[in-house]
Amino acid sequence: MRIDRIAVELRPRSSWEAAELGIALVRNHPRAIWKPWVIATLPVFVVLNALGWWLELLPWAALAFWWLKPVFDRIPLFVLSRAVFGQVPSVRETLDAQRTWGWRWMLHYLTWRRLGPYRSLYMPVDLLEGGEGKHARRNVIGGSARGVAAWLTIVFVHFEMALILGVMALVPLFIPFEQMRESFDAMRESFFVAQPAWTQVATNLLYYAAATAMEPFYVGAGFGLYLNRRTQLEAWDVELAFRRLRARIGGALMVACLAFGVAFAPARAARAADEPAPSPPAPTMREALGPRYVDDKAFVDAVAKVKQDPLLNPTEKRTVWTPRDKKKLEQEDPSSIAVAIARFMGKMLEAALWILLGALVVALLATAKRWWPWLRDVATPERAAPSEISLAPTEHDAALPADIAASVRRLWAEGLSRRALALLYRASVETMVARTGAFLVPGATEAECLRASRQLGAAEDRDAFARVVRTWQYAAYADRLPDGDAFEALVARAAERFGWAT
């Protein structure tokens, strides 16, 4: 590892600042990360959903993709581990490395470590350092960063959920206000009651998009924590500073040493030739200074004083409780007393739980009149079997009968409920058009008719027309027919407001 080639500023950071550094690294290399990510993960996603569709297990396809995330996390980790040293791998190099790189640890991360909250911090330790006995190494690297790594897992899970729910919340913005209630009923039916295959595939695709957007940032944040811990433990920043200092002054120092050697080498050679015999060895510093300047006792006292420095030998004062009569305590058998106390406490807790359960049952029985009707209303009612679809031809161009109200009531009495409501709706629309002069294209929808009815002068007329339209929509699209009293009130109201009674 050449830390002199590292492309980021090495300095001790807080854990959250280190996570932000890893996210910044991901932002600086988007193409090198997301392009191989999509190339590697999209075929797996398609195959999983195809198998789920074939086996009718589409919800399990999303779960399988989520479970395989550690396999895909190798892609951003490989790119970041090279890019941080100034060597950004190409897309081909990244994909080629996935065939062999990191598979040794995938069995661990797909089984007992899959739900571990420290995956983003421990994967760089295992995949980048390798080797055996990594349990102690993970503990050392983890240290104070484990808490932040766990919070990163929680935060990014919420980010994915926020993206998914946010996209789902955008759907109602494109629904007209008049059709809001019917659309929500249809959405509830499609997503929660009888979910068709296309909605399951759409939900899986939405999760894939959220995971693709967030997972590289999650890996990058964990890689930033890993770099910060290595910097703190191994003093990378200090080593890098010394290397830069040596590179800056090393050349000048070498030139000065060579010049000094060249200048003094001839003089030393001449002096050695003139001297006939070697001189006696020079005295040591201690002999030269003498006992006047070297005091062994003072030196020893100074060393002892330094050792007593509280910064070098910190002390801690603790207060603990100790038994007053240790002999009496040793004579008694503490195990028997502890067992008796534990059994007594267990009996007391068991009795308290039974009393609490009995009080809860009594309270539920006493308040059953209040919560039982509400609980019964909350339960999903049994759906009635849909009525048979009438295939009888309808003559839309035929003239309306002279007595519209009587004709509608006659069809209702004969059991032709949908035809009765269809005649009532058609007569109401033609009466509204005759009064307002509005122009409706052939095949106009109920919403267009409601917008045209705003030109009616009286508010009672607009309300009566809206009630007819809503009743027809419930019958035509939801198979919800009114009862006899509601139908009679609807016909009477429409006949009164539209002049059919006269």
Q: Is 147 part of a structural domain of the chain?
A: yes
Q: Do residue 17 and residue 97 come from a single domain? A: yes
Q: 231-235, 246-250, 398-402 — which is least confidently predicted? A: 246-250
pLDDT band at 141 (very low <50, low <70, confident <90, very high): confident
pLDDT at 193: 60
**254 or 342, higher pLDDT:** 342
pLDDT at 79: 92
* pLDDT tens digits, 162-186: 999 898 888 777 777 777 777 777 7
Q: Do residue 141 and residue 249 come from a single domain? A: no
Q: Is 167 part of a structural domain of the chain?
A: yes
pLDDT band at 353 (very low <50, low <70, confident <90, very high): very high
**Percent of the chain whose pLDDT exceeds 90:** 21
Q: What average pLDDT does the segment 359-370 reach?
A: 89
Question: Helices 30-55 and 74-83: crossing angle, nearest 10°?
Answer: 170
Q: Do residue 123 and residue 89 come from a single domain? A: yes
Q: Is 339 part of a structural domain of the chain?
A: no
Q: Do residue 62 and residue 130 come from a single domain? A: yes
Give the largest CA-CA distance in the chain: 152
Q: Do residue 52 and residue 139 come from a single domain? A: yes
Cα separation, 434 vs 402, in Å, equals 16
Highest mean pLDDT: which of 108-112, 243-247, 266-270, 393-397?
Answer: 108-112
Q: Which of 201, 218, 234 is the last residue of a domain?
A: 234
Q: Do residue 230 and residue 249 come from a single domain? A: no
Cα separation, 338 vs 344, in Å, equals 10
Q: What average pLDDT does the segment 482-493 reach?
A: 86
344 CB burial (10 A radius; 0-12, 13-18, 19+): exposed
Q: Do residue 193 and residue 253 come from a single domain? A: no
Q: Which of 250, 278, 306 is the last residue of a domain?
A: 278
pLDDT band at 102 (very low <50, low <70, confident <90, very high): confident
Residue by residue, DSSP assigns 220-241 as HHHHHHHHHHHHHHHTHHHHHH
DSSP 117: T
Given a contact cutoff of 8 angstroms between Cβ atoms, the answer to whether 225 and 79 are in contact is no
Q: Count up the domains in the chain and report the number.
A: 3
Q: 212-216, 255-259, 404-408 — which is least confidently predicted? A: 255-259
For residue 201, how many other CB atoms are within 10 A of its CB? 17
Q: Do residue 50 and residue 182 come from a single domain? A: yes
Q: What average pLDDT does the segment 358-382 reach?
A: 80
pLDDT at 341: 84
Q: Is 38 part of a structural domain of the chain?
A: yes
pLDDT at 426: 84
Q: What average pLDDT does the segment 54-77 reach?
A: 90
pLDDT band at 501 (very low <50, low <70, confident <90, very high): low
pLDDT at 31: 93
Q: Do residue 108 and residue 250 come from a single domain? A: no
Q: Is 460 part of a structural domain of the chain?
A: yes
Q: Map residue 127 onto helix, strand or coil.
A: helix
Q: Do residue 183 and residue 264 come from a single domain? A: no
Q: Is 289 part of a structural domain of the chain?
A: no
Q: Which of 234, 268, 291 is the last residue of a domain?
A: 234
Q: Is 107 part of a structural domain of the chain?
A: yes
Residue entry with tokens 């190798």: 74
Cα separation, 489 vs 487, in Å, equals 5
* CB proximity list for 450: less than 8 A, separation 6 or greater: 178, 465, 466, 469
Q: Do residue 227 and residue 259 come from a single domain? A: no
Q: Which stretch of DSSP H or E encloses residue 419?
A: helix 417-436
Q: What average pLDDT does the segment 353-375 reach?
A: 87
DSSP 105: G
What range defines the domain where residue 257 resides? 240-278
Q: 308-317, 407-416, 491-500 — which is least confidently predicted? A: 308-317
Q: Is 301 part of a structural domain of the chain?
A: no
Average of per-residue pLDDT values in the chain: 79
* pLDDT tens digits, 280-333: 555 554 454 455 444 567 767 777 777 776 666 667 787 888 777 766 655 555
**402 or 90, higher pLDDT:** 90
- State yes or no: pLDDT of 500 exceeds 50: yes
pLDDT at 45: 93
Q: Do residue 145 and residue 106 come from a single domain? A: yes
